[in-house]
Amino acid sequence: MPARATGSGSEIARTPPQLRAPRRVLSAAWRSLGLRFAAAGFQGTSAFEITSGHASLRRSPSTRTSGLAAKEALPQPEQGASFAGASAPGGLQIAGALAAAAVVGATARRARKPVVGGNWKCNPESMSKLDGLIANINACDTSKCDVYVCPSPLHVAYCADKFSNGADVTPQNCNFKGCGAFTGEMAVEQMKDMGITQVLIGHSERRGEFGIFPMDDNNTLATKLKYILDAGMSCVFCIGEPKEIREKGLDAVLAEMDVQMTQIYSLLDPAKVVIAYEPVWAIGTGLTATPEDAQATHAGIRKLIAEKASPAVAEAIRIQYGGSANAANAPELSAQPDVDGFLVGGASLKPEFAEIVAAISKAKA
Ligand code: 13P
């Protein structure tokens, strides 16, 4: 992958040529996804029919303002049903089904409101710096983009009521047991009591990358996601591959994404779950996936979700890119049809965060 050194990280290096992802995989992915939509039309079924487990387009009454706008924009089942064209005869029916599938796909794509998150990780060192960071977030125009912020656990309570533009405070982890004798843990029940409606889980820095002891795996994360959704909360669910897998090519990356999502396909409610794709090799390194490679991976993830959850879930669910995203690379990455937003680390601690929000708002307008 011809990754670019775009950030200020100290380990900027050229990515080996074997990281290049074949573009034909992207077109194959889209062909396949297109066929799925056409097939839904041929069968006279609703292209927005939700077929798996808990997946649905339902809306939570506890949803806060900024998230609500996105949820209202999501396609509803009736929309797809009206495009099915089941009564048209023969060739007309086929043509109608193809046209309907295209319209449905385009409508659903437009319906994905962009979403940008700022992950402050274990920063800042001093609470005296929080007001400045909060001001950066409040400077974002959230009229066309959902924004959330992940303060460090110690700072969540301070930040909880500080955002004037609807940015959602989104803690970086939770447990799957609730309140009780769980030293060092955070419970969604405590978050809800503070007016918090969303939590992030699965970050690679908690999955054990970067030499830190693994605090989560695919099993605990699936259990956590179910617990979060059952509690009526929304979730940002992080996935991503380490460099050794990326070096094997896109097929290996998507095989790993499939492993990381296998236990959550049935939980993927687009109104409640955002997927954050964060290639581990791009996090904090200044290396960014090229727009083409980010698009190929996002399209591949969406295809997996189409196959293992449903095409409707795949079309509606938002997939963020994370990994040295910044104001300079956001416009090109935002132009990719399957990049629905960003999960930003380092640049979320700087005023340029607002430019990232502006870039994707403009690209998806
Ligand atoms: P950077 O933007 O610093 O690479 O971090 C990405 C990330 O891990 C966000 O969760």
CB 274 within 8 A of CB 71: no
Which residues, listed in sequence order, are joined to residue 345 by a DSSP beta bridge? none
17, exposed or middle or buried, with CB in 10 Å at 0-12, 13-18, 19+?
exposed
Do 186 and 39 fall into the same domain?
Answer: no
What pTM was computed for the model?
A: 0.74
Residue 90 has pLDDT above 60, yes or no: no
Q: How many domains does the chain have?
A: 2
pLDDT at 147: 98
Q: Tell me if 5 is assigned to some domain.
A: no
pLDDT at 307: 98
CA of 343 to the centre of ligand 1 (A): 7
Atom from ligand 1 closest to the CA of residue 284: 4
Q: Tell me if 10 is assigned to some domain.
A: no
Q: Tell me if 17 is assigned to some domain.
A: no
User: Is the CB of residue 324 below 6 angstroms from any atom belonging to ligand 1?
Assistant: yes
Do 197 and 104 fall into the same domain?
Answer: no
Interacting residues of 46 by C-beta distance below 8 A, sequence separation 6+ = 40, 77, 80, 81, 84, 312
Atom from ligand 1 closest to the CA of residue 348: 2
pLDDT one-digit tens code per residue, 34-50: 333 333 332 222 222 22
* Terminal C-alpha separation, the chain: 29
User: Is the CB of residue 288 below 6 angstroms from any atom belonging to ligand 1?
Assistant: no
Q: Tell me if 70 is assigned to some domain.
A: no
Name the catalytic one among 205, 241, 278, 315.
278
User: Is the CB of residue 344 below 6 angstroms from any atom belonging to ligand 1?
Assistant: yes
User: Is the CB of residue 322 below 6 angstroms from any atom belonging to ligand 1?
Assistant: yes
Is residue 110 very low, low, confident or very high in pLDDT (cuts 50, 70, 90)? low
Share of the chain above pLDDT 70, in %: 69
CA of 27 to the centre of ligand 1 (A): 28
Do 227 and 81 fall into the same domain?
Answer: no
User: Is the CB of residue 118 below 6 angstroms from any atom belonging to ligand 1?
Assistant: no
Residue 358 has pLDDT above 80, yes or no: yes
What's the average model confidence in pLDDT over 105-130? 86
Do 137 and 31 fall into the same domain?
Answer: no
Q: Tell me if 13 is assigned to some domain.
A: no
pLDDT at 211: 65
Do 159 and 242 fall into the same domain?
Answer: yes
Task: Give the integer Cα–Cα distance in Å for 98 and 91.
Answer: 11
Q: Tell me if 182 is assigned to some domain.
A: yes
pLDDT one-digit tens code per residue, 272-329: 999 999 999 999 888 888 999 999 999 999 999 999 999 999 999 999 999 999 999 9
CB 224 within 8 A of CB 176: yes
Name the catalytic one among 203, 205, 241, 298.
203
Mean pLDDT of the chain: 78
pLDDT at 284: 87
DSSP state of 117: E
Q: Tell me if 274 is assigned to some domain.
A: yes
pLDDT at 12: 29
Do 100 and 135 fall into the same domain?
Answer: no
Beta strands in the chain (DSSP E): 4-5, 115-119, 146-150, 168-169, 198-201, 234-239, 273-277, 287-288, 318-322, 341-344
The length of the chain is 365
Q: DSSP assignment of 145-192, as one string?
A: SEEEEE--GGGHHHHTT--TT-PEE--S---SS-SSS-TT---HHHHH
CATH number (domain holding residue 122): 3.20.20.70
- Active site annotation includes 241: no
Atom 1 in ligand 1: which residue has the minimum CA distance?
Answer: 345
CA of 207 to the centre of ligand 1 (A): 14
Cis (ω within 30 of 0) for the bond into 124?
Answer: yes
**Can you give the residue range of the structural domain that contains 92?**
25-55+75-108
Do 82 and 152 fall into the same domain?
Answer: no
Q: Tell me if 64 is assigned to some domain.
A: no
Do 202 and 310 fall into the same domain?
Answer: yes
Do 192 and 97 fall into the same domain?
Answer: no
CA of 341 to the centre of ligand 1 (A): 13
- Active site annotation includes 315: no
Do 246 and 355 fall into the same domain?
Answer: yes
User: Is the CB of residue 326 below 6 angstroms from any atom belonging to ligand 1?
Assistant: no
Do 322 and 186 fall into the same domain?
Answer: yes
What's the average model confidence in pLDDT over 113-117? 98
Letter string b/e over residues 26-39, b meaning 16 or more CB atoms within 10 A of that residue's CB:
beebbeebeebbbe
Do 258 and 289 fall into the same domain?
Answer: yes
Q: Which amino acid is at 156?
A: V
Helices 250-261 and 291-308: crossing angle in degrees, nearest 10, is 40
User: Is the CB of residue 283 below 6 angstroms from any atom belonging to ligand 1?
Assistant: yes
